[in-house]
Chain A
Amino acid sequence: MEALKSILSAQYLFSIIRVTTPLLFASMAAVVIRRAGIICIAFEGMMLFAAFGGVLGSALTQSVFGGVACGVLFGLLVAMIYAYFVLSLKANTYLTGLAINMLGSGGTIFLLYLATGDKGVSTALNSLSVPSINIPLIKDIPILGDVLSGHNVLTYVAFASVLAVYILINKTVLGLRIRSVGENPDAAASVGIRVIRTRFVAILIGGVLASLGGIYMSMGYLPFFTRDMIAGRGFIGIAAQNLGGAMPVPTMLAALAFGAAEAASNILQALRLPAEFMQMIPYAATLIGLMLVGRPDTEKKPRTTRKNRRESTHE
């Protein structure tokens, strides 16, 4: 009964939006890159570097903007390394992604230790957070105001990014190019679209989006950086993109569903149930979600992706 009550509260709905934010950024990044025909799993690493960069930048410049800029820069740098290896050196996308994630985990701890002498948290750095804002008018609506208003600025940016990605993919020239290199790179190349350059741009756009998700983790969700703080959120973002068929709005709904599972696990931890099962919820929900969309995705997969994968894993 108590559980039901806490689930149905405005507070719960508020926390869904809060925990969905990083998932949403990651899933939108996955959408853009997936549409360009690349299955990128490197978001975990990009987000970690961005989260650390945000803390470092804001501590050094003592400005929130400096922090966000530095975080995005870190994330972009990692995205560029990823893009260079995957596109120019034709490295296997999965293995490169895995390596980037390892680099993110080890590299940020290494840098954190150099910056603070601590390997766990960045509390020694006097970093800033991105502020939360109340939206005028909406905040006065009874329940809805409690749910929608008072979030971190980046949360609103995350939901705005869904619209932005939708417009980018469906209404712009660049989006058309991204889709065409994703669906059939040979055909795209034959009409003069530069496949590698377009994919490079898509990865960079994804890198910025993922970075914002990482920055949110260390400058909003928590006010400091902790080691491995992304904790699989980048992967859940990829799962949301899979569930949403790489379309922005369905992907957002999937991300919200995973957010709901995570928020529920946060709330239910207060109950007398074993915490381990609650912590398992978001990941188990993702597995179930993958089953629900179970339809052969490989048929639609762009040809090069399949070819790349086949060629590069057995070499």
Chain B
Amino acid sequence: MKSKRIEQEFNLIRMLVAVAISLALAFCLIVCASSTPLEALSAFLIGPLQTVRRMGNVVEMMIPLLFTGVSVSIMYSCNQINMSSEGAFFLGGVGCAYLATTVSLPAGLHPAVCILAAGLIGALVCAIPALLYIKFRALPVVSSLMVNYVALYLGLFVINYIIRDPAAGYLCSFEYLDSAVLPHLFSKTKIHLGLVIAVIVVILSYLFLYRSKAGYAIRMVGMNSNFAKYSGISVMGTILGCQLIGGFIAGVGGAVEQLGMYNRFQYQSLSNHGFDGIMIAILARYNPKFVPIAALFLAYIRVGADVMARTSDVPVEIVNIIQAVVIMFVAAERFLEGWKHRRIVAASQSASRKEA
């Protein structure tokens, strides 16, 4: 059991080293790029903590990331590299915008209907790559990216031709009806009821994936699909099911973001929340339990980069660079592996010495 503990410890350390390397690289870039490096750095690091509003921004930014992070965690747990949570998040938001602008329902019911409908749309979007894989063995990586573009243009069509507000002067929908909007929780920030929904989703997903039979089947398919098959698990059914669930959560996230943060649909392109979700899921090792920590990290550096971009001359795109470097080092199996092996050898040697 000792080596298993080393393994866990090692995973944590490797994750931290990956984050540290990416941040170090970001610091180097900031120092190179900025004419006032110290101010830029301090804005980046402690900017988000300086005012209540910015702390609120971190939490607001975290909410959609919780949804997409959990969504990707579930989908990737059965080893499907399906990137269509991006499209599911977007199209879910569009579907929600349609219902929030055109249908009038009582206040409590309206957001619930919008969110559920968005979830169903998201589930459909994410099911396409899974179906193409099951029926035609199409690579989910490629097909899901194509699905994203199709979802984008379909969504823009709905906004542009069906619910566009001609008086607004730019491409956006009519304003959401008051009955649909999610209430804010605290007075000084825009933190909204979506936070509660997100926390519930995170907890339920953890219980589902790690404490239920279906969740076990999903992880089994992900770890060894042949073994799963021989134990009587329907591999294809499990894959489809978990893409549907993942897509549902991503779609719900899109709706919650719309109803909580915006008063009308304003995206002109994909919002990147789905891709952020991939990074978060990787950092969380596909375990919903750790998604909040990873989402907090990303939201924090994003708000920090935002503050930095406003107060100095370093563009916010530095966050994408940090994200990419984190993903690469976490995905690299051999990274620091020698160190782990030495630890395991040392531990087993000391154990055998004790026995002797």
A, B bound: yes
Q: Is the CB of A313 within 8 A of B324?
A: no
Q: Is B334 in the interface zone, CB < 8 Å from A?
A: yes
Q: How far is the CB of B94 from chain A (nearest CB, A)?
A: 12
Chain B positions within 8 Å of A39 at CB level: 139, 141
| A94-B81, A274-B157 known; A85-B136 Cβ under 8 A | no
Q: Is the CB of A89 within 8 A of B156?
A: no
| A94-B141, A235-B142 known; A102-B147 Cβ under 8 A | no
Q: Is B224 in the interface zone, CB < 8 Å from A?
A: yes
Q: Is the CB of A294 within 8 A of B317?
A: no
| A274-B157, A287-B132, A296-B137 known; A88-B146 Cβ under 8 A | no
Q: Mark A297-315, 1 if CB is under 8 A from B, else 0.
A: 1100000000001111111
Chain B positions within 8 Å of A298 at CB level: 137
Q: Label chain A's interface by main secondary structure.
A: helix
Q: Is B114 in the interface zone, CB < 8 Å from A?
A: no
Determine the residue in chain B with the shortest Cβ distance to A311: B333
The 8 Å CB contact of B318, one of A110, A238, A242, is: A110
Q: Mark B81-96, 1 if CB is under 8 A from A, else 0.
A: 1010000000000000
Q: Is the CB of B334 within 8 A of A313?
A: no
Q: Is the CB of B317 within 8 A of A109?
A: yes
Q: Is the CB of A290 within 8 A of B143?
A: yes
Q: Is A58 in the interface zone, CB < 8 Å from B?
A: no
Determine the residue in chain A with the shortest Cβ distance to B225: A310
Q: Mark B324-356, 1 if CB is under 8 A from A, else 0.
A: 110110011111000000000000000000000
| A276-B157, A286-B146, A315-B333 known; A310-B224 Cβ under 8 A | yes
The 8 Å CB contact of A287, one of B76, B135, B143, B319, is: B143
Q: Is B280 in the interface zone, CB < 8 Å from A?
A: no
Docked CA distance A15–B157 (Å): 26
Q: Is B138 in the interface zone, CB < 8 Å from A?
A: yes
The 8 Å CB contact of A294, one of B138, B153, B275, B324, is: B138
Chain A positions within 8 Å of B332 at CB level: 85, 89-91, 96
Chain B positions within 8 Å of A163 at CB level: none
Q: Is B203 in the interface zone, CB < 8 Å from A?
A: no
Docked CA distance A97–B79 (Å): 16
Chain B positions within 8 Å of A91 at CB level: 328, 331-335
Docked CA distance A315–B83 (Å): 19
Q: How far is the CB of A235 from chain B (nearest CB, A)?
A: 5
Docked CA distance A315–B236 (Å): 21
Q: Is the CB of B157 within 8 A of A103?
A: no
Chain B positions within 8 Å of A97 at CB level: 141
Chain B positions within 8 Å of A41 at CB level: 141-142
The 8 Å CB contact of A95, one of B79, B132, B153, B331, is: B331
A contact residues, total (Cβ < 8 Å): 55
Determine the residue in chain B with the shortest Cβ distance to A278: B153
Docked CA distance A315–B334 (Å): 12
Q: Is the CB of B29 within 8 A of A110?
A: yes
| A41-B141, A274-B160, A290-B142 known; A102-B333 Cβ under 8 A | no
Chain B positions within 8 Å of A90 at CB level: 332-334
Determine the residue in chain A with the shortest Cβ distance to B335: A89
Q: How far is the CB of A22 from chain B (nearest CB, A)?
A: 16
Determine the residue in chain A with the shortest Cβ distance to B76: A313
Q: Is the CB of A99 within 8 A of B132?
A: no
Q: Is the CB of A232 within 8 A of B136?
A: no
CB under 8 Å from chain B, chain A span 196-234: 232
CB under 8 Å from chain B, chain A span 230-273: 232, 235-236, 238-239, 242
| A89-B335, A106-B317, A283-B150 known; A276-B142 Cβ under 8 A | no
Chain A positions within 8 Å of B317 at CB level: 105-107, 109-110, 113, 119
Determine the residue in chain A with the shortest Cβ distance to B336: A89
Chain B positions within 8 Å of A277 at CB level: 153, 157
Q: Mark B266-308, 1 if CB is under 8 A from A, else 0.
A: 0000000001001000100010000000000000000000000
| A102-B323, A313-B222 known; A290-B33 Cβ under 8 A | no
Chain B positions within 8 Å of A102 at CB level: 275, 320, 323-324, 327
Chain A positions within 8 Å of B52 at CB level: none
Q: Is A92 in the interface zone, CB < 8 Å from B?
A: yes
Q: How far is the CB of A114 from chain B (nearest CB, A)?
A: 6
Q: A106-B320, A106-B324 are in contact. List 5 more A-B contacts (CB 8 A).
A: A89-B335, A274-B160, A290-B143, A291-B136, A295-B137
Question: Which A-B residue pairs are the 6 nearest by beta carbons?
Answer: A106-B320, A294-B136, A89-B332, A103-B324, A276-B157, A290-B138
Chain A residues packing against B (C-beta within 8 Å)? 39, 41, 85, 88-92, 94-100, 102-103, 105-107, 109-110, 113-114, 119, 232, 235-236, 238-239, 242, 274, 276-277, 279-280, 283-284, 286-287, 290-291, 293-298, 309-315
A-B contact pairs, 6 of them (CB 8 A): A106-B317, A239-B146, A276-B156, A283-B146, A287-B147, A291-B132
